[in-house]
Amino acid sequence: MASVSILIVAPAGEEERARRALASARGQAGDPELLLVGDADLGDDAAGVRRVGAGAGAAARNEALAAATGEFVVVVEAHERLAPDAVARHLAALEAATDAVASYGRTAIEEDGRVRLRPDAGRSGRVLARLIHDKHLIASSACALWRKAALGPAPYVETYRSVPALRLAFALKAAQAGEFVFHPTVVAERDAERSDLAGLEELVRVFLTVLYAPERLEEKAEHRARMRLARQLVAIGKHHFRQGDHRRAGKFFDEAVKAAPAYFKGRRYQFMNFVARNVLTRSRA
């Protein structure tokens, strides 16, 4: 079996969830190399696990990836777990696709007492446009096994802090390097992720970076990036609207229209209802 390194991200304060993540990594076949990234104190549960990097941000993740000795790597956030035999299934999927940079599968996401499987449908091959469009395509860090040589140095962007932004920027960079393989099985599970304003703003920066990178996107990918950017700008605008800062909300709504006018086709009544409902609610208060 090919050599695999599993990086467990364990921030301080996430000890209990990080223990569960580590236990899921220990259960994988092939005796993978385990590295702990973060400051969480896991006590005896971390016996024999090499700790690399200070903190759990992008710099520590990049340091751990550089130190990993496996041909393939998996990153598991503290709020995620690997499914039994996930690594073995990834490696089997890559046997017939020797040029692929990654193998990915579905994530079981627990939200509001329900479990949802994401993505609903994946695809293999060049996935850049699909990855831009579908926020659930790579639904967890733990759902993918990466060919380390294809990632290049420092694949995590050090200006991002939120897990969704770190994960998406990482996956987009890999998708520009080569093809992905998808197999429709559940390979990971994670708890719900809640995006705060800072996280939404980081996702906007991810799509601005993609749109205005020196390498021009294909027309289909650019269209999808603009639509996704508009979606994030509207989400930020709604946040400010609910906070009563209508002027700032209006600026974000204007930027969303400039980024992708087509985003509002078929959504204009939904959007108008949102504004009217909030205006009426506030005026009655």
Q: What is the pLDDT of residues 36-93, one digit of tens each?
A: 999 999 999 999 899 997 899 999 999 999 999 999 999 999 999 999 999 999 999 9
Q: What angle, 0 to 180 degrees and rounded to 10, lies between the N-to-C axes of helices 268-284 and 219-242?
A: 10
| Per-residue pLDDT band at 276 (split at 50, 70, 90) | low
Position 274 scores a pLDDT of 62
Distance CA 149, CA 232 (A): 32
- Which has the higher per-residue pLDDT, 113 or 88? 88
pLDDT of residue 267: 60
| Contact (CB, 8 A) for 142 and 188 | yes
Q: Is residue 271 domain-shared with residue 140, that is, in the same domain?
A: no
CA 122 to CA 13: how far, in whole Å? 34
Specify whether 65 is located in the same domain as 160.
yes
User: What is the pLDDT, as a whole number, of residue 268?
Assistant: 56
**C-beta separation of 104 from 38 below 8 A:** no
d(CA 207, CA 222): 10
Residues 46, 118: one domain? yes
* Cα gap 29→12, rounded to integer Å: 28
* For residue 32, cis peptide bond before it (omega within 30 degrees of 0): no
Mean of pLDDT values over 229-245? 91
Cα separation, 261 vs 228, in Å, equals 12
> How would residue 111 be classed by pLDDT, with cut points 50, 70 and 90?
confident
Contact 108, 117 (CB under 8 A): yes
Q: Give the global pTM.
A: 0.91
Res 127 pLDDT > 70: yes
**Domain boundary, last residue among 191, 220, 253:** 191
Q: Match 């969830």 to its residue by tokens.
A: 17
Higher pLDDT, 2 or 3: 3
% pLDDT > 70, the chain: 93
- Which pLDDT score, from 0 to 100, does residue 280 have? 46
Q: Pairing between strand 114-118 and 144-147? A: unpaired
Structural domain count, the chain: 2
Structural domain of 219: 197-284
Give the position of tokens 């703003």. 201
Please indicate, yes or no, whether residues 24 and 64 belong to a single structural domain of this protein: yes
89 and 11, same domain (yes or no): yes
Helices (H), the chain: 15-26, 58-67, 86-95, 128-133, 148-151, 163-177, 197-211, 219-242, 246-259, 268-284
Same domain, 55 and 131: yes
Mean pLDDT to the nearest integer, 88-117: 92
* Residue 263 neighbours by CB distance under 10 Å: 19
Top-confidence residue, 204 or 277: 204
Q: Which amino acid is at 138?
A: I
Inform me whether the pLDDT recorded for 270 exceeds 80.
no
State the average pLDDT over residues 204-225: 93
Q: Are residues 187 and 201 in the same domain?
A: no
Is 237 in the same domain as 167?
no
Helix (H) / strand (E) containing 73: strand 72-76
Q: In terms of Cα–Cα distance, which of 101, 197, 194, 107 is closest to 155?
A: 101
- Three-state DSSP class for 172? helix
